[in-house]
Chain A
Amino acid sequence: MDSAARAADPAHLDTSTGLDSRKMAFWTFIGSECLLFGSLIATYMAYKGASVTGPCPHTTLLWNGQQCPGILDIPLTSISTFDLLMSSLMMVLGLAAVQRGNQKRAAIWLGMTAFLGAIFLGFQSYEFTTFWHEGLTLQTNLFGTTFYTLTGFHGAHVFVGVIYMTVLAVLAWRGKLGPEKSLNVEIGGLYWHFVDVIWVVIFPLVYLIP
């Protein structure tokens, strides 16, 4: 069995499923979160291109023939996307360090995860502020309403994740996250990777596909 396979090898437990109940509960939570973000993305898609006034995501023509200026900053968002993907790498390295019993190293990886998550939030704050100054508010048009709702919900999840990762990093630094506590970190990791996976869906649908 290779390393990653061993990392998730389910041991038998005395539960009705033979699986850990906390992990089962968290996967159920993630399944329900899929529906939440599925509905938010569906709403964005329903109203995509339906705004009657600008600004628009990409430069396009409105229904009345007027040009609608594009507002999305693809290079900036590409960097923040890379940042979030790398935070997932830091997270999984943090889990591996906890499983090894190397708590100081785990604290560094988990701290890096939180730091990269905070940078992502910084990028999002900058983006929102810029859009606001360019005239895109929650009430401006359908694009503004659906965009801020969708990306704002995702940003709120990242914010919770940053706090979660910071707490785990502090616990690891204080030597309170031994290998026997690795499931706690794994569940935190599931949350963080889920937030990353949602951005993997949002980034092309909102930013890249015209």
Chain B
Amino acid sequence: MSSKTHEIAHDVAEHPVHGTAIYWWIGLYLTLVTGGEIACFYFEHVIGPWVTPLILALSAVKFALVVMFYMHLKYDSRVFSGIFIFGAALGTLAITGVTILYHVLDVLR
């Protein structure tokens, strides 16, 4: 099999025809969760100190939905998941570390 034929055979085998209902549902969930985030912002006086963890949790849900379903990581090779999670974890570590260093430890000092 030539490389071109092989490539075509691979692509067709890898991406057969499929339904799109799940994508519309994910779109709906993303819209609802975004609405929840914005509601948390406007009802901060009601929610109190839980507003920040709540917004971050909702954001994490949106992140996971897009990565798992729209980027197909839920169904794709775990190698791709590993590469992405490694980069994302290092980025998150940098953000968390700096935030603790400048905003938590600085306040405690």
Which residues of A pack against B, CB within 8 Å?
A: 2-11, 13-14, 17, 19-20, 23-24, 27-28, 30-35, 37-39, 41-43, 45-50, 74, 78, 81-82, 85-86, 88-89, 91-93, 96, 99-101, 179-183, 186, 189-190, 193-194, 196-197, 200-201, 203-205, 207-210
Residue of B nearest to A101 (CB): B17
B38 touches which of A8, A20, A37, A208 (Cβ 8 Å): A208
Would B15 and A99 count as touching, CB distance under 8 A?
yes
- B-chain residues with CB within 8 Å of residue A43 when the two chains form the complex: 98
How far apart are the CA atoms of A88 and B58 in the complex, in Å?
Answer: 18
A11-B10, A181-B11, A197-B63 given; A89·B24 CB < 8 A: yes
What is the CB-to-nearest-CB distance from B87 to chain A, in angstroms, rounded to a whole number? 3
- B-chain residues with CB within 8 Å of residue A49 when the two chains form the complex: 103
What is the CB-to-nearest-CB distance from A63 to chain B, in angstroms, rounded to a whole number? 13
How far apart are the CA atoms of A14 and B15 in the complex, in Å?
Answer: 18
What is the CB-to-nearest-CB distance from B92 to chain A, in angstroms, rounded to a whole number? 7
B22 touches which of A2, A200, A203, A210 (Cβ 8 Å): A2
Secondary structure at the B interface, as helix, strand, loop or mixed, is: helix
Residue of B nearest to A23 (CB): B80
CB-defined interface of B76-95 with A at 8 Å, one 1/0 digit per residue? 11011001101110111111
How far apart are the CA atoms of A14 and B52 in the complex, in Å?
Answer: 48
What is the CB-to-nearest-CB distance from B97 to chain A, in angstroms, rounded to a whole number? 7
How many positions in chain B have a CB within 8 Å of any CB in the partner chain?
66
Would B17 and A99 count as touching, CB distance under 8 A?
yes
A4-B69, A34-B90 given; A41·B18 CB < 8 A: no
A3-B22, A179-B15 given; A74·B84 CB < 8 A: no
Would B99 and A45 count as touching, CB distance under 8 A?
yes
- B-chain residues with CB within 8 Å of residue A99 when the two chains form the complex: 15-18
How far apart are the CA atoms of A180 and B56 in the complex, in Å?
Answer: 40
B91 touches which of A24, A37, A193, A208 (Cβ 8 Å): A37
How far apart are the CA atoms of A196 and B30 in the complex, in Å?
Answer: 11
A31-B86, A42-B94, A100-B17 given; A4·B72 CB < 8 A: yes
Would A45 and B102 count as touching, CB distance under 8 A?
yes
A193 touches which of B41, B66, B90 (Cβ 8 Å): B66
Would B77 and A10 count as touching, CB distance under 8 A?
yes
Would B95 and A41 count as touching, CB distance under 8 A?
yes
Residue of B nearest to A88 (CB): B70
A45-B99, A193-B66 given; A38·B23 CB < 8 A: no
B108 proximal to A (CB < 8 A): no
How far apart are the CA atoms of A45 and B20 in the complex, in Å?
Answer: 38
Selected A-B contacts with CB under 8 Å, 17 pairs: A4-B72, A5-B75, A6-B15, A7-B75, A9-B14, A33-B87, A42-B94, A85-B34, A88-B70, A89-B30, A96-B20, A100-B17, A180-B11, A196-B70, A204-B59, A205-B95, A209-B55
